[in-house]
């Protein structure tokens, strides 16, 4: 009788573990579109502050209208001009009027559906050189 209970318990534990493994949980990250904050005094008049570019050219998860929705909205409410960078950084013209470049979770094309190592740079050597030169002029990366 004791051996029967042990086998039943083992079988139930295996069924439980299998059912946990099969069940899919979906807790996706979504932007908080209801975020609303009002400054008592803004840093700049609306749309007159420095230009901030949010990198969306490198398979970024966080985008102006996606993961950085609340962040972008807060900056815009404080007077900053928040725009999307959707093209590669090539030549000084792309960053010319930008004061702050926001880069979050850039991903090389080869890693968009493959998270295995190695993970090559999402930026080309030319882009890295352009951004480095741009930062040396007094601009900022975030």
| pLDDT tens, position by position, 13-71 | 877 777 666 655 556 678 788 888 889 999 999 999 999 999 999 999 899 999 999 99
Domain count, the chain: 1
Q: Taking the model in full, what pTM does it have?
A: 0.76
User: For residue 8, is it within any domain?
Assistant: no
Query: In this structure, is residue 75 part of a structural domain?
Result: yes
pLDDT value at position 5? Answer: 74
Q: Rounded to an integer, what distance in angstroms lies between the CA atom of residue 118 and that of residue 110?
A: 10
Q: 10 in a domain, yes or no?
A: no
Which letter does DSSP use for residue 36 in this model?
-
Give me the domain span that covers residue 58: 54-109+120-141
Q: What is the pLDDT of residues 81-133, one digit of tens each?
A: 999 999 999 876 889 899 999 999 999 998 888 878 888 999 999 999 999 99
């Amino acid at each position: 009788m004791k051996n029967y209970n042990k086998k039943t318990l083992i079988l139930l534990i295996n069924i439980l573990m299998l059912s946990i493994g099969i069940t899919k949980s979906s807790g996706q990250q979504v932007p908080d579109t209801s975020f609303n904050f009002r400054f008592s005094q803004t840093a700049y008049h609306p749309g007159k502050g420095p230009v901030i570019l949010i990198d969306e050219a490198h398979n970024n998860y966080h985008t102006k209208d996606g993961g950085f929705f609340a962040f972008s909205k807060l900056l815009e409410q404080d007077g900053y001009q928040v725009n999307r960078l959707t093209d590669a950084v090539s030549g000084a013209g792309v960053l010319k009027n930008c004061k702050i470049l926001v880069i979050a979770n850039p991903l090389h094309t080869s890693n968009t559906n493959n998270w295995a190592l190695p993970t090559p740079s999402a930026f080309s050597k030319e882009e890295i050189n352009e951004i480095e030169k741009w930062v040396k002029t007094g601009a900022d990366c975030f």
